[in-house]
Amino acid sequence: MRVALLCCAAAAEALTANSGGADWRYFAAGGVSAAISHGYTTPLDVIKTRMQTNPELYKGDVFFALKEIIDEEGFDFLLQGLVPTCLGYGLEGALKFGCYELCKPLFGELTPSPFANAILASCVAGGVAALVLCPPEDVRIRMVSDPDYADNAVDGFKKRIKEDGPLASFAAAPAMTAKQVPYTMGKQVSFDYFCTIAHGFLVAVCSAEVLERVDGLTPVLAALPAAVLACVLSHPGDAVLTQFFKEGPQPGGVAGTLQKIRKEGALFRGLKARLLHVIGIIWVQLVIYDYVKQWLGLPATGH
């Protein structure tokens, strides 16, 4: 019980201890980790997007969808959208992690609650990420939903601009924000707290010699619950975003699209595939982020 209380007390001060700041290394670590983690999970994202845009074809079964996609489109279709994914999410990751760390000290005393201040910082970071991701996600989802949309990412961007102009993708900003803000809140804030809890637990139960050997596992332990939480919180927004890129804006904007999806019973359609996808992304991403920023000379999260 004493150990649990010490860990909880440490978690309550986690975001004060991890104060962040205006340092390019947060942006660099975020960009590297996001590009790698989103890039290697592209096949899972292809399956998830196809299940959301063509639910009647795949019977809600991830492995059936995988087999059908390979049979119909070929194995290489599983890498459809890889380039816009890496470019878009590399930039998005740099700005999301960097802006979150930048805003933490700025919002540090905005309210009496460090947790509330961290949530506000994550909302700003999620909003920035939403704007950055609109063009690449627009093209990626169109390429996955319609194999004939474009031969490659460059052609996809050109076609999108030619069809509706260079700002057309930003019409999805409200839908993208509905996904990215809960996603960022669930990922960034919980990772700070879970790292502090894991580190505090190890400090409480391990000798200094053992702690030195096992403390490197802290981000590995903390990233898994953070990934699950981020996925569940953001899945309704992800469904709204996919619907928007498939059929355009619905009457009533984001709220109207969300209501339409809810009535169809599709609010959590594709969640199983997305859990695999998002956990595969975020678990790896957060671990890479923490190790890269330490390699660059920044303190480990939770310390």
CB-based contacts of 83, cutoff 8 Å, min separation 6:
152, 153, 154
| Cβ atoms of residues 227 and 282 within 8 Å | yes
| Cβ atoms of residues 105 and 17 within 8 Å | no
Distance CA 245, CA 171 (A): 10
What's the pLDDT band for 13 if we cut at 50, 70, 90? low
- Residues 128-139 pLDDT 10s: 999 988 888 888
Architecture per CATH, domain 2-295, reads as: Alpha/alpha barrel (1.50)
Distance CA 143, CA 149 (A): 6
The CB-based long-range contact list for 162-170 (8 Å cut-off, 24+ gap) reads 168/138, 169/134, 169/135, 169/137, 169/138, 169/139, 170/131, 170/134, 170/135
Please tell me the predicted confidence (pLDDT) of residue 50: 80
- Residues 41-95 pLDDT 10s: 888 888 877 887 777 777 767 788 888 889 888 888 888 878 888 888 899 999 9
Triad 159, 172, 223: Cα angle to 5° = 110
Q: Which two tokens stand for residue 244?
A: 């928007």
Distance CA 148, CA 144 (A): 9
